[in-house]
């Protein structure tokens, strides 16, 4: 609520229409509009006091609060004394440790209502303590009526009645048993004579069957001149359909059966996926195999995919978060890296149906990984899969990759986005990969740094300093290449510099502020307990097993990884921080509104601020036309 200029006071009065009605309980000086912008009716009580004192009784007040020039007369309030369960106890203020019985509270309340309060030292201390808590919450200049003073004293003495000086916390006494041994039910692995690998996971809980074929090769394997090919491929593959059934006819067929067949593409793979009811499983499987082995790419569907992907290019600078993530990755990997190539109108425009078919034919020569789960007989499904895949030629091994992650040049980088009132800050550096023998320790270190509400970044930058809407980050560990280090801070424009400095100090503190057993245990518990949700179904276990096979990790990786997490010590985390956290090698990227960032980014004292151009190149013009350039 915005206040007008002048001297203000808070005048309290009884809401007469609710005089005989027990009020609804609301928290912490809560006022709710009912009549106008300046007149509020609600129920007030002090959350601050609830946490400062254990108590047996709470006093609730029907309260009408009018904020206005000092002219209004107040009507004495009649508090309602009601039993209330105690809240968690915190040590009371000095002089207020004594127990107060119900009769004492009731007698004192009657004194208040009769405005005959004797100012004993004890009562004065209670009233002074309450006023010290209450003053920051409301814009008091002065309290006009003795009735309000009596009200404050009444609620204070009622709330200052602890059950005992050291109230118990029974929830802390609940025994927490150790986690069960982690041995998820592994799918049956079958390796065909041509090198294709099949995983079958029987699950008879529901009458569904789902499957996928994971195909090596993705956008990182496409040159810059054809950047965007995988995006077009995954769309046109499914919408074009197969030799036996067009994409539109396939839609109708599947919709009538509540079934699905979809295609997908990523930086290192493509895939075809399907699911259906058990009764339709054979027909849907056959249709998925027809789409896999006999696609019929259509010029019409390719043109539609280009039109759809063109809108993605046009809108890629709309969201500041997307900009920060994209450009932060370029600082880590380099603008020409296979992991940061971005489609442009020209590169997508050069893709033809022949390109899609050539990509498809080449990718099917790799090591396919087939995974099927659901309500089926394993022997019958194995026979079906063998019939579909065993006649293919031997797989062609993928060549080893030699990707380089150079890391950023330290400094401050800025992208001006005038239409926002906040800043997205990315603090970036070099990470590692999951083959690293310190992977488990790094995971724990990440959790301590920025993994949740209890992390150092969150507790310092958001909870303690109140400088960020969201904050977090850590070391990225991809399966087959070096990743990056990223800490993200979302903050108001005016607090950009302060929030960035605070985050940088927390990151640097990993090498100077000792880790505690509490931090270590909370981080390990968070990671280990997450297994409950990550691998709680046979379908998820199958998906993880396919991933491990795809990246050539051992089959028991999950079990050994869990065991490694459990063994991490403070000494391990301390050593890992010194080995992998290098504040002097980090770069800061800010996407925000330059006119609102006060002080400016020069105040970070990290050198001259470097601007990044994110203008989108315009599509090629027809022959003979002029005016090629860039658009924002």
135 pLDDT more than 90: no
**Model pLDDT, residue 625:** 55
Helix, strand or coil for residue 205? coil
* Neighbour-count burial of 338, counting CB atoms closer than 10 A to its CB (0-12 exposed, 13-18 middle, 19+ buried): buried
**Contact 486/330 with Cβ under 8 angstroms?**
no
Residue indicated by tokens 């990671």: 527
Per-residue pLDDT of 317-369, as tens digits, reads 999 999 999 999 999 999 999 999 999 999 999 999 999 999 999 999 999 99
Quick one: which of 577, 413, 546, 553 has its CA closest to 480? 553
Tokens of 207: 């009458």
Q: What's the pLDDT score for residue 67?
A: 31
Residues 128-146, mean pLDDT to the nearest whole number: 39
First CA to last CA distance, the chain: 37
Which pair of tokens denotes residue 238? 């499914």
Instruction: Give kind and range of the element (H or E) at residue 91.
Output: none
Whether residue 310 contacts residue 302, with contact meaning beta carbons closer than 8 Å, is answered with no
| pLDDT for residue 75 | 35
pLDDT reading at 13 higher than 80: no
**In 3D, which of 499, 503, 502, 495 has the Cα closest to residue 474?**
503
Question: Chain-centre distance of CA 341, in angstroms?
Answer: 25
Distance separating alpha carbons of residues 410 and 412, to the nearest angstrom: 7
Which structure tokens are listed for 356? 């899609």
Q: What is the pTM of this model?
A: 0.72
For every residue of 470-528, DSSP letters joined together read EEEEEE---SSS--EEEEEEEEEGGGHHHHHHHHHHHHHHTTTSPP-HHHHHHHHHHHH
3-state DSSP assignment of residue 61:
strand
- b/e burial code for range 491-527 (CB count within 10 A of at least 16 → b): bbbebbbbbbbbbbebbebbeeeebeeebbebbbebb
Domains, the chain: 9-170 (no CATH), 188-389 (3.30.830.10), 411-617 (3.30.830.10)
Average pLDDT of the residues in 435-462:
95
Burial class (CB in 10 A: 0-12, 13-18, 19+), 294: exposed
Please check whether residue 392 is in contact with residue 401, taking contact to mean a CB–CB distance below 8 angstroms.
no
- The arithmetic mean of pLDDT across residues 90-98, rounded, is 36
Read off the pLDDT of residues 77-88 as tens digits, 9 standing for 90 and up.
333 333 333 333
Give the pLDDT of residue 534. 85
For the record, the structure tokens of 519 come out as 């931090």
Q: Answer for the pair 105, 158: CB distance below 8 angstroms, yes or no.
A: yes
Cα separation, 270 vs 356, in Å, equals 13
pLDDT at 186 over 50: yes
The confidence band for 388, taking pLDDT boundaries of 50, 70 and 90, is very high
From residue 530, how far is each of 179, 325, 447, 567 by CA, in Å? 11, 25, 12, 17
Separation CA 384–CA 218 (nearest Å): 28
Query: What mean pLDDT value characterizes the chain?
Result: 79
Residue-wise pLDDT tens digits, 593-626: 999 999 999 999 999 999 999 999 988 876 655 5
Residue 51 confidence (pLDDT) above 50: no
Mean pLDDT, residues 283-311:
97
| Beta pairing class for 411-416 and 609-611 | parallel
pLDDT, position 160: 47
Tell me the pLDDT band of 581, cut-offs 50, 70 and 90: very high
Question: pLDDT higher for 403 or 147?
Answer: 403
Helix (H, G, I), strand (E, B) or coil at 614: coil
Report the range of poorest mean pLDDT among 66-80, 493-507, 525-539: 66-80
557-573 residue pLDDT tens: 988 999 999 999 999 99
Contacts of 121 (CB under 8 A, 6+ apart): none
- Do strands 369-374 and 197-202 pair parallel, antiparallel, or not at all (unpaired)? parallel
pLDDT 10s digits, 212-261: 999 999 999 999 999 999 999 999 999 999 999 999 999 999 999 999 99
The pLDDT value recorded for residue 271 is 98
Q: Which two tokens stand for residue 369?
A: 């990984």
Res. 43: pLDDT tops 70 = no
Task: Give me the residues paired with residue 225 across strands.
Answer: none
Given a cut of 50, is residue 23 above it in pLDDT? no
How confident is the model at residue 250, as a pLDDT? 98
Q: Phi and psi (nearest 5°) for 536?
A: -90, -5
pLDDT at 621: 74
User: Residues 291-303: pLDDT tens digits?
Assistant: 999 999 999 999 9
- 163 or 462, higher pLDDT: 462
Compute the distance between CA of residue 92 and CA of residue 140 in angstroms, rounded to an integer.
25
What pLDDT is attached to residue 8?
25
Tokens representing 14 are 């009884």
């Amino acid at each position: 609520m915005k206040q007008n200029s002048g001297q203000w006071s808070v005048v309290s009065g009884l809401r007469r229409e609710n005089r005989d009605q027990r009020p609804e309980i609301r928290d912490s000086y809560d006022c709710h509009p009912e009549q106008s912008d300046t007149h509020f009716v609600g129920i007030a009580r002090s959350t601050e006091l609830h946490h400062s004192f254990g108590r047996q009784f709470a006093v609730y007040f029907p309260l009408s609060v009018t904020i206005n020039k000092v002219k209004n007369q107040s009507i004495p309030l009649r508090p309602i004394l009601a039993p209330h369960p105690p809240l968690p106890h915190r040590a009371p203020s000095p002089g207020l440790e004594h127990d107060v019985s119900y009769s004492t509270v009731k007698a004192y309340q009657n004194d208040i209502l009769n405005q005959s309060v004797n100012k004993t030292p004890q009562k004065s201390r209670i009233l002074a303590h309450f006023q010290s808590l209450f003053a920051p919450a409301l814009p008091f200049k002065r309290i006009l009526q003795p009735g309000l003073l009596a009200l404050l004293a009444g609620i204070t003495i009622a709330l200052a009645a602890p059950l005992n000086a050291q109230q118990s916390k029974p929830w802390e006494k609940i025994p927490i048993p150790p986690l069960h041994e982690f041995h998820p039910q592994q799918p049956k692995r079958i390796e065909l004579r041509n090198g294709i690998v099949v995983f079958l996971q029987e699950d008879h809980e529901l009458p569904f069957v789902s499957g996928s074929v994971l195909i090596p090769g993705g956008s990182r394997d496409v040159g810059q001149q054809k950047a965007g090919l995988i995006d077009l491929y995954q769309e046109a593959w499914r919408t074009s359909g197969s030799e036996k059934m067009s994409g539109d006819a396939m839609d109708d067929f599947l919709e009538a059966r509540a079934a699905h067949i979809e295609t997908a593409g990523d930086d290192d793979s493509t895939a075809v996926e399907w699911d259906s009811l058990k009764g339709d499983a054979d027909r849907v499987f056959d249709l998925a195999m027809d789409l896999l082995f006999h696609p019929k790419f259509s010029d019409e569907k390719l043109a539609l995919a280009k039109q759809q992907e063109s809108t993605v290019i046009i809108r890629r600078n709309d969201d500041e978060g997307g900009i920060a993530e994209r450009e932060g990755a370029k600082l880590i990997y380099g603008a020409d890296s296979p992991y940061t190539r971005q489609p442009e109108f020209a590169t997508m425009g050069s893709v033809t149906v022949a390109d899609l078919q050539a990509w498809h034919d080449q990718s099917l020569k790799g090591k396919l990984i087939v995974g099927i789960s659901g309500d089926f007989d394993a022997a019958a499904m194995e026979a079906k899969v063998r019939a579909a895949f065993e006649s293919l030629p031997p797989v062609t091994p993928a060549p080893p990759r030699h990707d380089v992650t150079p890391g950023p040049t330290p400094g401050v980088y800025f992208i001006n986005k005038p239409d926002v009132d906040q800043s997205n800050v990315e603090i970036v550096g070099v990470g590692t990969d999951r083959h690293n023998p310190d992977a488990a320790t790094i995971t724990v270190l990440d959790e301590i740094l920025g993994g949740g509400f209890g992390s150092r970044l969150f507790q310092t930058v958001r909870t303690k300093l109140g400088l960020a809407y969201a904050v977090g980050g850590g070391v990225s560990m991809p399966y087959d290449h070096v990743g990056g280090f990223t800490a993200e801070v979302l903050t108001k424009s005016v607090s950009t510099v302060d929030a960035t400095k605070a985050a940088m100090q927390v990151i640097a503190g990993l090498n100077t502020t000792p880790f505690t057993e509490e931090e270590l245990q909370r981080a390990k518990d968070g990671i280990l307990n997450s297994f409950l949700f990550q691998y709680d179904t046979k379908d998820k276990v199958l998906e993880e097993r396919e991933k491990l096979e795809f990246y050539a990790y051992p089959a028991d990786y999950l079990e050994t990884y869990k065991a490694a997490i459990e063994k991490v010590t403070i000494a391990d985390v301390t050593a890992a921080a010194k080995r992998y956290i290098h504040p002097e090698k980090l770069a800061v990227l800010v996407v925000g509104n330059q006119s609102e960032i006060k002080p400016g980014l020069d105040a970070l004292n990290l050198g001259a601020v470097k601007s990044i151009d994110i203008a989108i190149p315009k599509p090629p013009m027809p022959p003979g036309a002029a005016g090629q350039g860039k658009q924002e």
